[in-house]
Chains A and B, each alone.
Chain A
Amino acid sequence: DAKTTQPPSMDCAEGRAANLPCNHSTISGNEYVYWYRQIHSQGPQYIIHGLKNNETNEMASLIITEDRKSSTLILPHATLRDTAVYYCIVRVASNSGYALNFGKGTSLLVTP
Chain B
Amino acid sequence: GAGVSQSPSNKVTEKGKDVELRCDPISGHTALYWYRQSLGQGLEFLIYFQGNSAPDKSGLPSDRFSAERTGGSVSTLTIQRTQQEDSAVYLCASSSRVGDQPQHFGDGTRLSIL
A34 touches B102 (CB 8 A): yes
Interface residues of B in 51-67 (CB under 8 A from A): 56, 59
B56 touches A44 (CB 8 A): no
Interface residues of A in 73-111 (CB under 8 A from B): 93-105
What residue in chain B is nearest A51 (Cβ atoms)? Answer: B100
What residue in chain A is nearest B59 (Cβ atoms)? Answer: A99
Report A44-88 CB contacts with B as 1/0, cut-off 8 Å. 111001010000000000000000000000000000000000000
Report B6-30 CB contacts with A as 1/0, cut-off 8 Å. 0000000000000000000000000
Number of residues from A at the complex interface, CB < 8 A: 23
8 Å CB contact of B99 from A41, A43, A94: A94
How many residues of B sit at the interface, in one of the four size bands?
Answer: 20 to 34
Collect the chain B residues with CB atoms within 8 Å of residue A42's CB: 107
Once the chains are docked, how many angstroms separate the CA of A105 from the CA of B40?
12
Report B85-114 CB contacts with A as 1/0, cut-off 8 Å. 000000101000011101111111000000
Once the chains are docked, how many angstroms separate the CA of A102 from the CA of B79?
24
Collect the chain A residues with CB atoms within 8 Å of residue B100's CB: 32, 49, 51, 93
Collect the chain A residues with CB atoms within 8 Å of residue B107's CB: 41-43
What residue in chain B is nearest A100 (Cβ atoms)? Answer: B103
8 Å CB contact of B91 from A43, A51, A97, A105: A43
Q: Can you list 12 contacts pairing A with B, beta carbon distance less than 8 Å? A: A34-B102, A43-B106, A43-B108, A49-B100, A95-B98, A95-B99, A96-B50, A96-B98, A98-B98, A101-B45, A102-B43, A103-B42
B-binding residues in A (CB < 8 A)? 32, 34, 41-46, 49, 51, 93-105
A-binding residues in B (CB < 8 A)? 4, 31, 33, 35, 42-43, 45, 48, 50, 56, 59, 91, 93, 98-100, 102-108
